[in-house]
């Protein structure tokens, strides 16, 4: 696998080694030893979501019980975005996006300290998360997907959102004790 640094400290882009022939392809999507040998933490929970085109999920994070996430798409494609919400970071409030798809097989490791979301580009997408901490409903937090100060250029003009994603506050309105230090 090929691992490159993303634009923010701790953010990693992973390209698995792909074996292709006339039958199709094979790749190892995860092997704990390979990931820990490369400095990744242990993962304790797997999640899968299936979403339709134009669905936006996010921008989510947990605090306390912060999660690191290894994310990738097994069917379809998404425009994946992270926002640095670490108050002490020189990139606080900046965002980064990447297309993750079943065609490019890219993975992204998102360490704690980031809000995360994605927009489905294909008709449907299956999105896979490996998490470093268990899901904790009482720790769930979020940043408004349409925060005008972040100015995220979402690729959908008619997004479909959950009721909870519609009520998150803009980043500048979130109390500092609800963000990462």
Identify the H or E element spanning 21.
strand 18-21
Set 27, 61, 129, 172: catalytic member: 129
d(CA 25, CA 89): 40
Task: Please name which of 108, 89, 69, 110 lies closest in space to residue 171, comparing C-alpha atoms.
Answer: 89
Shortest CA distance to 135 belongs to which of 41, 44, 74? 44
| Helix (H/G/I), strand (E/B), else coil: 139 | helix
Q: Which of 60, 61, 72, 116 is catalytic?
A: 60
Active site residue 60: yes
Alpha-carbon span 69 to 171, nearest angstrom = 21
Q: For residues 127 and 129, what is the distance between their CA atoms, to the nearest angstrom?
A: 7
Give yes or no: 129 in active site.
Answer: yes
Q: Which residues are catalytic?
A: 60, 129
């Amino acid at each position: 696998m090929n691992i490159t640094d993303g634009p923010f400290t701790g953010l990693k882009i992973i390209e698995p080694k792909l074996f292709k022939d006339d039958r199709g392809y094979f790749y190892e999507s995860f092997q704990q030893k390979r990931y820990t040998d490369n400095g990744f933490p242990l993962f304790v929970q797997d999640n899968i979501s299936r979403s339709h085109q134009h669905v936006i999920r996010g921008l989510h994070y947990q605090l306390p019980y912060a999660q690191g996430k290894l994310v990738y798409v097994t069917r379809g494609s998404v425009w994946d975005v992270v926002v640095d919400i670490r108050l002490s970071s020189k990139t606080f409030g900046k965002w980064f996006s990447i297309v993750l798809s079943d065609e490019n097989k890219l993975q992204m490791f998102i360490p704690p300290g980031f809000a995360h979301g994605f927009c489905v580009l294909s008709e449907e997408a299956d999105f896979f998360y490996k998490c470093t901490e268990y899901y904790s409903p009482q720790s769930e937090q979020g940043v408004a997907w349409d925060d005008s100060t972040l100015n995220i250029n979402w690729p959908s003009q008619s997004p479909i959102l959950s009721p909870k994603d519609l009520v998150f506050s803009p980043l500048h309105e979130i109390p500092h004790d609800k963000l990462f230090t």
